[in-house]
């Protein structure tokens, strides 16, 4: 039978009985048996053994045989009783709830199988892409009508195509990231968005010059041409392409395993490589959006019959608001939630461009075709 746990002080009392010469030996032995009532020597222990998942530590008390049991620290386990120390799990493993065994870590990314967000974003991207194709199809069908021809229909088609590609590039952000998708996701979204904003800027400049050129003998009349719009779109987009090429050449994005940010998880994410390159892409795109917004805002009060600027103003306001709000959210989150914030910004800003610029025209084409005439055309 196992002896009970007595304190060190208790053991001293027994020693006192045995060593006292004034008492008969039989009396001392009787007292010893009355104290223990066992046939073996008890252990000198102040407390129970430390179970697995804990380690021993001195409590600073008077008796050296007394100690405390404390849980293993984060990332460490102990699988024996009265362990002197805990050992750390390998990088790819993490302690279980009781800190007794190391178990494999779970992988964390925006997964189609385990995250409803990925399915929601996929569905939203498909719906918005279908809406863009619907608008594009109607613009092709009503190719020669005044509403479609207003303010350079070729630029409108380029804008619709870039918005469609912006919606589709969302799929590069979903699923497990690898090196190739890490490189393509930021570059593709940056270039497609820059083309969209460049088209909006070209439309805005056309509106501004068109009203300045209405005065007889105006200096601005010679600048009102489709070539200026094409030049703006090509030049602004080429600068962004050049920034992306330099970024990919110097320090491209790559796949990264983050084992520190979330306990028990391995976050599979994209490291942007050059932070300067990433923010240069965003900054240039924001600069174009700000210029378009300011120009459109200045001419927003011109007559409605000829003015598309107020729709551009609303679209750029939505665009800038979404991305300004996204930056702090992007910097304060990690893993799949950081990716989800960026995907949400892409979907929202692209939908803002589509809705604010093209839905008013679709409303006229489909529901008020009598306004789609030369005498009542928009810009």
DSSP code of 251?
S
Cα(311)–Cα(293) distance, rounded to whole angstroms?
10
Q: What are phi and psi of 54, to 5 degrees?
A: -125, 165
**Residue 295 domain-assigned?**
yes
**Judgement on whether residues 128 and 95 belong to the same structural domain of the protein:** no
With a CB cutoff of 8 Å and minimum separation 6, the contacts of 53 are 71, 72, 77, 78, 98, 99, 100
**Residue 298 domain-assigned?**
yes
The pairing of strands 87-88 and 93-95 is: unpaired
**Judgement on whether residues 76 and 126 belong to the same structural domain of the protein:** no
Domain boundary among 65, 82, 104: 104
Q: Report the DSSP beta bridge partners of residue 95.
A: 102
Where b means 16+ CB within 10 Å and e means fewer, 207-232 reads bbbbbeeeeeeeeeeebbeeebbeeb
**Residue 12 domain-assigned?**
no
**Residue 301 domain-assigned?**
yes
Contact yes or no for 163/124 (Cβ under 8 A): no
Average pLDDT over residues 140-145: 86
**Judgement on whether residues 83 and 150 belong to the same structural domain of the protein:** no
Cα(181)–Cα(173) distance, rounded to whole angstroms?
8
Domain boundary among 104, 136, 163: 104
Q: Is 293 exposed, middle or buried (0-12, 13-18, 19+ CB in 10 A)?
A: buried
pLDDT in tens, 274-320: 889 988 998 998 898 888 888 888 776 665 554 577 788 888 888 88
- How many domains does the chain fold into? 2
**Judgement on whether residues 95 and 149 belong to the same structural domain of the protein:** no
**Residue 6 domain-assigned?**
no
**Residue 30 domain-assigned?**
no
**Judgement on whether residues 61 and 134 belong to the same structural domain of the protein:** no
**Judgement on whether residues 173 and 94 belong to the same structural domain of the protein:** no
Instruction: State whether the Cα torsion 133-197-283-184 is positive or negative.
Output: positive
Cα(350)–Cα(162) distance, rounded to whole angstroms?
9
Residue whose C-alpha is closest to residue 289's, from 254, 263, 251, 326: 326
Q: Inter-axis angle of helices 275-298 and 309-332, to 10 degrees?
A: 150
DSSP code of 92?
T
Cα(372)–Cα(144) distance, rounded to whole angstroms?
10
- pLDDT confidence band for 326 (50 / 70 / 90): confident
Cα(254)–Cα(184) distance, rounded to whole angstroms?
10
Per-residue pLDDT, 23: 45
- pLDDT confidence band for 137 (50 / 70 / 90): very high
- pLDDT confidence band for 188 (50 / 70 / 90): very high
**Judgement on whether residues 194 and 293 belong to the same structural domain of the protein:** yes
Q: Is 81 exposed, middle or buried (0-12, 13-18, 19+ CB in 10 A)?
A: middle
Per-residue pLDDT, 41: 56
**Judgement on whether residues 279 and 328 belong to the same structural domain of the protein:** yes
pLDDT in tens, 189-203: 899 999 999 998 888
Give residue 340's domain range: 116-376
Domain boundary among 70, 104, 138: 104
**Residue 47 domain-assigned?**
no
Contact yes or no for 25/57 (Cβ under 8 A): no
N-term to C-term CA, the chain: 100
- Report the CATH number at residue 339: 1.20.1070.10
**Judgement on whether residues 100 and 120 belong to the same structural domain of the protein:** no
Q: Is 352 exposed, middle or buried (0-12, 13-18, 19+ CB in 10 A)?
A: buried
Tokens of 368: 């008020």
Q: Report the DSSP beta bridge partners of residue 71.
A: 54
**Judgement on whether residues 300 and 181 belong to the same structural domain of the protein:** yes
**Judgement on whether residues 62 and 202 belong to the same structural domain of the protein:** no
Does 66 score more than 50 pLDDT? yes
Q: 167 vs 318, which has greater pLDDT?
A: 167
Mean pLDDT of the chain: 79
**Judgement on whether residues 232 and 121 belong to the same structural domain of the protein:** yes
**Residue 43 domain-assigned?**
no
Residue whose C-alpha is closest to residue 193's, from 221, 166, 230, 233: 166
């Amino acid at each position: 039978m196992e002896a009970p746990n007595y304190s060190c002080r208790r053991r001293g009392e027994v020693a006192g009985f045995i060593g006292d010469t004034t008492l008969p030996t039989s009396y001392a032995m009787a007292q010893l048996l009355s104290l223990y009532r066992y046939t073996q020597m008890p252990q000198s222990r102040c407390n129970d053994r430390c179970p697995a998942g804990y380690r021993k530590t001195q409590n600073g008390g008077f008796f050296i045989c007394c100690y405390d049991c404390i849980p293993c620290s984060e990332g460490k386990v102990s699988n024996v009783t009265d362990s002197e120390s805990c050992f750390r799990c390998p990088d790819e493993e993490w302690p279980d709830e009781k800190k007794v065994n190391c178990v494999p870590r779970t992988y964390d990314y925006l997964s189609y199988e385990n995250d409803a967000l990925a399915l929601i974003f996929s569905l939203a991207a498909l719906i918005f892409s279908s809406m863009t194709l619907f608008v594009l199809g109607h613009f092709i069908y009503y190719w020669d009508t005044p509403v479609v021809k207003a303010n350079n229909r070729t630029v409108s088609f380029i804008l619709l195509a870039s918005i469609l590609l912006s919606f589709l590039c969302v799929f590069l952000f979903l699923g497990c990231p690898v090196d190739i998708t890490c490189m393509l996701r930021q570059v593709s979204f940056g270039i497609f968005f820059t083309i969209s904003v460049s088209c909006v800027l070209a439309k805005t400049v056309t509106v501004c010059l068109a009203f300045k050129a209405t005065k007889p003998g105006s200096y601005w009349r010679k600048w009102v041409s489709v070539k200026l719009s094409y030049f703006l779109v090509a030049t602004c987009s080429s600068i962004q392409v050049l920034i992306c090429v330099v970024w990919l050449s110097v320090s491209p994005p790559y796949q990264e395993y983050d084992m520190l940010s979330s306990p028990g998880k391995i976050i599979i994410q994209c490291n942007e490589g050059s932070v300067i390159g990433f923010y240069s892409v965003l900054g240039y795109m924001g600069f174009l959006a700000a210029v378009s917004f300011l120009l459109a805002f200045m001419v927003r009060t011109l007559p409605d019959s000829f003015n598309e600027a107020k729709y551009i103003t609303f679209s750029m306001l939505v665009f800038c608001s979404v991305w300004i709000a996204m930056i702090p959210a992007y910097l304060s989150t990690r893993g799949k939630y950081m990716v989800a914030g960026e995907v949400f910004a892409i979907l929202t800003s692209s939908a803002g461009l589509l809705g604010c610029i093209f839905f008013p025209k679709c409303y006229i084409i489909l529901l008020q075709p009598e306004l789609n005439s030369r005498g009542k055309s928009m810009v």
